Amino acid sequence: MIHIRRAGALDTRALAELLNAIIAKGGTTAMVSPVTARELQGWMATPDSAWHLAEDESGRIKGFQYIEPHPDLPEGGVDVATFVRVGETGFGIGSALFEQTKTAARDLGYAHIHAIIRADNSGGLTYYQSRGFEDFRRLPNCTLADGTRVDKIWKRFEL
């Protein structure tokens, strides 16, 4: 059984551990350097953002999702990021998180949600497509922080 709740500052150590395992595995996030709990606390403090996490009955975090404004998005848009524990994708964690995220985005007054996914991240592309996101733009030859170059797919979900 998965429970979805708002994430807070006290969750950031566990969220950083989950995210750092994904970063270390590589290939599914544009992030290439580990994050700290303090960095995540700073991200959480972004005005008009919303953070949710999924946990099992024992309180173990299975994934998290957040939305935050971004200056490069069209008016009324918000950026989304989703992370599910390595080896635990495909069990409905992302789907449950997105239901809460949609509600939060509407409550914050957003009109659409944007996801920018590495073109080589087939799991991420499938996830957002299955949620109803539509292709918005292709961003060719993007340079990641470590110099890796990848194409990205920009998807949009109308609220």
Q: Is 124 exposed, middle or buried (0-12, 13-18, 19+ CB in 10 A)?
A: buried
pTM of the prediction?
0.92
Contacts of 20 (CB under 8 A, 6+ apart): 34, 35
Rounded CA-CA distance 105/64 in Å is 15
Structural domains of the chain, ranges and CATH numbers in brackets = 3-158 (3.40.630.30)
pLDDT in tens, the chain (159 residues): 899 999 999 999 999 999 999 999 877 777 889 999 999 999 999 999 999 999 999 999 999 999 999 998 999 999 999 999 998 887 899 999 999 999 999 999 999 999 999 998 888 999 999 999 999 999 999 998 888 899 999 999 999
Crossing angle for the helix pair 37-44 and 12-25, nearest 10 degrees? 110
